């Protein structure tokens, strides 16, 4: 059977289809768009991707993503940020969500994931020892556990709480409030969301 598409286009579709959330049809549309566009568009995209690993590194203190020519995250070195207040998140991109609120002025600590035995991720794979060091070195007063509202996120939050207490470190620990999103009926809310909504209820 003859090939329906040129080999170069097929390879582009296959590679684009490996991206998370990109199905076969979407990969085909992306590849065809690049083919129809000015060759400079594809070249610029390819060059940008090729420079991705060399242009990005991890902050040795917060484990946030930083430019390759930086020594430390600006969200940590900025003197206006409160180093005694730290939000613990699972992944570097979680920082963006909190920063967009404009309400958080502390610093961050990226764990690098969440405890998930089924995926082979245990506490030893996370940046927990480094967090303990920061608790002591920066005299942190409050730790906001901002892991995701998932089974893995909840398990990680509980583990951190016990681990820090067992280490004999006294620090205020809080968890992001959870509730039912506006526009969502109770019948469609999951058990974890409903549980947190009940625990975080307030008078009105």
Let me know if residue 194 belongs to a domain. Answer: no
The beta strands (E) that lie in the chain are given as 56-58, 65-67, 82-89, 106-110, 142-145, 172-175
Same domain, 38 and 87: no
At 46-98, the pLDDT tens digits run 999 999 999 999 999 999 999 999 999 999 999 999 999 999 999 999 999 88
* Domain assignment of residue 143, given as a range: 56-175
Which residue reads 């909840």 in tokens?
A: 154
pLDDT band at 182 (very low <50, low <70, confident <90, very high): low
Segment 10-59, tens digit of pLDDT: 999 999 999 999 999 999 999 999 999 999 999 999 999 999 999 999 99
- Report if residue 187 sits inside a domain: no
Domain membership of residue 121 (yes or no) is yes
């Amino acid at each position: 059977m003859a090939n329906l598409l040129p080999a170069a286009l097929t390879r582009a579709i296959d590679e684009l289809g490996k991206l998370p959330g990109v199905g076969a049809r979407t990969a085909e549309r992306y590849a065809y768009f690049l083919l129809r566009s000015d060759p400079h568009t594809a070249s610029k995209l390819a060059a940008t991707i090729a420079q991705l690993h060399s242009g990005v590194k991890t902050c040795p203190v917060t484990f946030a993503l930083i430019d390759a020519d930086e020594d430390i995250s600006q969200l940590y070195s900025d003197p206006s940020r409160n180093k005694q207040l730290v939000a613990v998140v699972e992944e570097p991109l979680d920082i963006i969500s909190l920063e967009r609120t404009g309400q958080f002025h502390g610093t961050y600590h990226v764990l690098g994931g969440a405890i998930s035995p089924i995926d082979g991720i245990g506490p030893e794979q996370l940046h927990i020892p480094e967090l303990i060091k920061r608790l002591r070195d920066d005299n942190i007063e409050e730790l906001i556990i901002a892991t995701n509202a998932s089974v893995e996120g909840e398990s990680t939050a509980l583990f951190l709480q016990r681990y820090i207490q067992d280490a004999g470190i006294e620090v205020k620990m809080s968890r992001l409030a959870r509730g039912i999103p506006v526009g969502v009926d109770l019948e469609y809310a999951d058990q974890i969301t409903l549980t947190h909504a009940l625990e975080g209820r307030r008078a009105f």
